[in-house]
Structure 1
Amino acid sequence: MPNAMASITGNVPATVQRGLAGALVAAALAWSVPAHADIFADNDARRAILQLRDTVAAQNDRLNALSRQVTDLEKRVQAVQNGLAETASQHDQSTETMDHLRGKTEDLAHQLAILQKNQHDFYNDLDQRLHKLEPLTVNVDGKTVQVDRHEEQDYEAAVSEFRSGDYHAAAQAFRSFTARYPASAYGAAAQFWLGSSYFALKEYSAAVAAQRTLVSRFPDSPHVPEALLNMAASETAMGEVRSARVTLRRIVHDFPGTDFAKLAQQRLAALPAERRPSGHHTSPRKKHPEHS
């Protein structure tokens, strides 16, 4: 009987086991009553035991079902917790990734801004360089010509020195200009101002040489008659009256009807008489007989 009880109640909770034990005790007591008591017959006891066994089995099934449900719920809860943890981790990773991407974007934007500025500065510098290399169209001595920008700037700087009265600086500037730009459209003008600078410095021999270079290299220049006047003035200042007279007569001959020719005639008239060499005597003219 105890073994039977153990087999029946092995998986039953304690409260159920206590109820079952009580029922079995009652059944045993009923079994011990004389047969004539007729309270629990063998068939009735057997049915009671079977019913009790069915009840215990049903409760076991229910308990097992509940246990499975609890286990399933625990698994679901664990899955939800795992999912939440994974979601939180993914969220953290996403946040970290977004922060990283945001930082990269800001860095790239900064680099792009620097690149755009460098490109802008490069093109501005290139434009300025190209602009400096482009020739200037200017009017020189009545002719429209193209000159280099540096050439034009150097010429104007030299002229400014002359106009300011710094003739030493002007002479140096015009010497440098004619050497640096031998084929310049400003060549004749620069040569004239070089001779004029020497004349202002009373370096008459250098003035004559400079103006003679102008006349020989640029015979068609409008500066030629004025250069010849400057030569004549330098020759006069050096006492070379004969040379001055030749130069002035050339102006009158080559540029008739011009203001330069008129000025040359005035200066010719103002020239002192040429000195005759000492020891030179003029023989008296012989009188010729008059013809009737």
Structure 2
Amino acid sequence: MNIVRNISLVVLLALSGCAMRSDLETVQRDNEELKTRIFRLEKDLGGVRTETRAGIETTLQDFEKERAGARKGLADLQASMDAMKVDLQVMAGKVDDLSLAAKKPTEEVNLLKEDLERRLSSLEERLGAVQKKVTDMETAQAKPPEPATPEALYQKGLDAYRSGNFAAARESFARFLEQHPKHELAVNAHYWSGEAYYGEKKYEQAILEFQEVIKNFPGKEKVPAAMLKQAGAFNEIGDVKSARYVLRKLIDEHPSTEEARRAKERLKALK
């Protein structure tokens, strides 16, 4: 009985050993298979990582390129805006220059007119003082008998001028104007008095006499001639600006006269 039990125990142990070996082999096979699967997964994962890294690097490179392009576009746009600002500033400067250039002729004319008026005023004061002295001297001297008519007194002055006796001519014209200031020949008397001063090279006095014609006898035929001679007197004393001003005024106000034609020629010569 004991023998049978022992034999049964041995058989059981043998069978148990066989079962354990079979399970162990199964476990080993499963383990190898698991390792193989893990290896494949790691390999696949490595490929995915490589592809992902390459894709990321490519994406980053593309992004960097796009960002560089955007930066360049922004820089070009900024440069264009800066250039436009400079152009606008230049245009604004040119507009200001044009505006100043447009104002300048008017301002120059106004300044020249004011300067001319001051000069004429000063000359009038000086001529008044001179005339007063002459009047006082004439009063102190015995006066010769006067011609019978205003026309005769005027003609006497004109004859003296034509003979070259400018002082006697001025004296006769001065008496004529003193006695007959409203006479129709008064404008001529002033004009020929200016011519007499001009002939004596007393250009400042001549300017004032011609100014009497221009200012007090508008519309008279002697006005253009007086303006032309006045411009010549200004030129003789070196006041070229005033000469130009008077010549331009003559051309503007009396364009169809012979004096205006001569004024244009003189303007060309003064430039």
* Fold match (TM-score > 0.5): no
More contact order relative to length (CA 8 Å, sep ≥ 6): 2
Higher Cα Rg, which structure? 1
* Higher share in helix: 2
TM-score calculated relative to the size of structure 2: 0.45
